[in-house]
Structure 1
């Protein structure tokens, strides 16, 4: 008989299994003791897949439900016969890392989860039971309660809702919102220059222009990494005397990159970004991509430049490896743990600090609801230090001046 530490035993959950199917995005399921998918969980995860949820969402919800199943096993409770105290017990279990009805003596405590992670795990359980209620499950605990109070923002058709009150979770995690992480203009310039710089003596780019274009694109548009990697050449409409613009088009990607929410949108861009794209396109043609690619307009903007899969779309993992290389090269000059998503936060912050209307920023970011924008960037203030992040026009003027005089 094995001597198991109860504080470690608590985290033994049903196995979260990755599932790969040819020509489809990877997905996840939850495997039970019989090595088969757990039926009620799999029904819900399939609902998420069919309704267009991202693989990351499926994985996160599968993880939460796997922990919920483990918790129910510890309580000897059937999934369709839960009580209200099970929901509150699960919340406490996630926060403390201890099985039900157990306390710690001394200072050696199990690792605890962040409030954000606990909230996500709890949301996966709530959504799981809402789904099964739609299917006819009669469950005793109330998952939501009506409240006349709510956020100040109301949607245009809010008054048409059947129930004018706001539905709030009966068991929820109160989180202290943190400021979204941002980069300074100096840090952004350093990241781009690490990728490639323009040599005025030979009037050519040194380094990997593709990588610089990627970060320039994130800086100016606030695109998510999946949206940037999903761009094809037919989505990029160069100026030709008019404003250049991009189309963000939901479509399957060979490596799972995707447009979050599946929503199309149109983004106007600057002449400088358009010119950088033209330089990148010419480099691809110099490498012979147009000769080996049947339909260049349907090829991806960001592709491999070397290797066996040359000119194939790059993977998200490639971008994160690039971030790691840039971080190692500038270990004392860049914030630890920065990611491409920080460009999105910086872009939104800059727009808000320059007085752009919140609904315009929301549309540019591709948020379904302006309340999401308000919640994420409520921390933006008139602080003079933060205003430095919004100095895009001056930065652009300096950048143009350097290259126009070279």
Structure 2
């Protein structure tokens, strides 16, 4: 019997740099263009629906890149998008696991550290391999994409990204409607996610990082990040009307949902923010507060202020990391703030969940695991205490009436 399941040499599959993701002013805000510069119609229609369902521009961009990678793979194996089966998805996952990303620029200083562990932060440097989270996100994108086309009746009859059966039956069969609904059955080709280990930045390393900041703007951003636990993208979106000077609050728009939320910040953070505002002058309520200087490409090449981008913020941290020999990221400040709050007995886990903006308490519970730095610090204290000599008991404090030989045995002394 001849199987319809193709046997491909995964290691020999090479993806051509076909197409690209490009921003556009309309809907959707990003689209996938083919080699001729025209939009890939199935992806464009799906992303339009994706926007209509209330998804943010960042999510549209992320989905576009995942679908572009899938399109490149299908072209490499010569399969049309609407003819793909679970065999193609399986081979795609196998290819991602062994493939290396093509860097946009040649590695220079990071070539020797890629994939290694930093001795100061004990964090692993990124390498050119795709992470497990990338594979899982890609599978979720493909399943959503094909669900859309199957509902329209214009795609394959069966979703090529199937779910695992639960105890030999299809997922959710005979579910009791009176019981809380819980998704069952993971996507078939999803790799197991690694266990997350959240670490706090030790106080002395935080002080060293903060000392490397060269401007009041950068000091204000880091001070707000470590006191509010806001994400980098959320901080960069703060406008002039989002600062409450009297109550020491800033308003952010949550990643993904776009929901507005006021977050309390430390007095020190507002001191640095005030110093920064003294430098740049008044900011309108609808204007971003974080500005950077860039040289004009036209009209004389002078300097002008423009909103700070995520890449510019990363460059600030990259320069500081190079001087310190570390690999801290903005997300480390979010983790540090969360763990500091959890160690405060006046705050509950629910309080921390609200500040972090987590939809589910189970996400916040990740921070309840012991931090490696704290465990190592306490064990070092334990070992140091063990090495200290025990205090000698004074004979003068011993009551009268004890025999000399009994005292020698009791106190462990050697008789001469």
TM interval, shorter chain, is: 0.5 to 0.7
1:117: Cα distance to partner?
2.2
Matched, 1:244 2:248: yes
1:55: Cα distance to partner?
4.4
Partner SS for 1:166: coil
Matched, 1:29 2:32: yes
> Which of these residues, 122, 140, 144, is aligned with residue 163 of structure 2?
144
1:403 is matched with which residue? none
TM-score by length of 1: 0.68
1:281: Cα distance to partner?
2.4
2:402 is matched with which residue? none
Counterparts of 2:182 and 2:218 in 1: how far apart (Å)?
49
Counterparts of 1:127 and 1:322 in 2: how far apart (Å)?
37
Q: Is the 8 A contact 1:223 1:344 kept in 2?
A: yes
Counterparts of 2:275 and 2:229 in 1: how far apart (Å)?
21
Unaligned runs of 5+ in 2: 1-8, 101-127, 168-175, 296-301, 379-416
1:297: Cα distance to partner?
3.5
Show CA shifts across 1:325-364 (max 9, x none).
2223323xxx23x222221122222223445433322221
1:191 is matched with which residue? 209
Q: Is the 8 A contact 2:11 2:95 kept in 1?
A: no
Taking only aligned residues, the RMSD between alpha carbons, in angstroms, comes to: 3.6
TM-score by length of 2: 0.66
2:188 is matched with which residue? 170
> Which of these residues, 43, 46, 50, is aligned with residue 44 of structure 1?
46
1:86: Cα distance to partner?
2.8
1:324: Cα distance to partner?
2.1
Matched, 1:18 2:22: yes
Shift in alpha-carbon separation, 1:214–1:90, aligned structure 2, 3 A: same
2:404 is matched with which residue? none
Matched, 1:58 2:47: no
Q: Is the 8 A contact 1:237 1:244 kept in 2?
A: yes
**1:66-81 residue pairs with structure 2 within 5 A?**
66-81=68-83
Unaligned runs of 5+ in 1: 99-110, 149-157, 196-206, 251-258, 390-406
Show CA shifts across 1:175-199 (max 9, x none).
222324542222221222222xxxx
**1:229-308 residue pairs with structure 2 within 5 A?**
229-239=236-246, 243-249=247-253, 259-284=255-280, 289-290=281-282, 296-304=284-292, 308=302
1:79: Cα distance to partner?
2.4
Matched, 1:208 2:225: no
> Which of these residues, 127, 138, 150, is aligned with residue 144 of structure 2?
127
Aligned length: 326
Q: Is the 8 A contact 1:225 1:316 kept in 2?
A: yes
Q: Using CA pairs under 8 Å that are at least 6 residues apart, name the structure with larger relative contact order, 1 or 2.
A: 1
Matched, 1:217 2:224: yes
> Which deviates the most, 5-14 or 174-183?
5-14
1:219: Cα distance to partner?
0.7
> Which of these residues, 385, 391, 395, is aligned with residue 374 of structure 2?
385
1:282: Cα distance to partner?
2.8
Partner SS for 1:248: strand
1:236: Cα distance to partner?
1.2
1:213: Cα distance to partner?
0.7
Shift in alpha-carbon separation, 1:35–1:383, aligned structure 2, 3 A: closer
Q: Is the 8 A contact 1:303 1:310 kept in 2?
A: no
**1:87-166 residue pairs with structure 2 within 5 A?**
87-97=89-99, 113-136=130-153, 137=155, 139-141=157-159, 143-144=162-163, 147=166, 166=184
Partner SS for 1:80: helix
Counterparts of 1:383 and 1:345 in 2: how far apart (Å)?
13
Partner SS for 1:89: helix
- Which is higher, the Rg of structure 1 or of structure 2? 2
Counterparts of 1:97 and 1:280 in 2: how far apart (Å)?
45
1:116: Cα distance to partner?
2.4
Counterparts of 2:363 and 2:259 in 1: how far apart (Å)?
15
Counterparts of 2:179 and 2:219 in 1: how far apart (Å)?
47
Show CA shifts across 1:354-406 (max 9, x none).
454333222211223333334xx3572266725979xxxxxxxxxxxxxxxxx
1:314 is matched with which residue? 308
Q: Is the 8 A contact 1:10 1:97 kept in 2?
A: no
Counterparts of 2:277 and 2:130 in 1: how far apart (Å)?
46
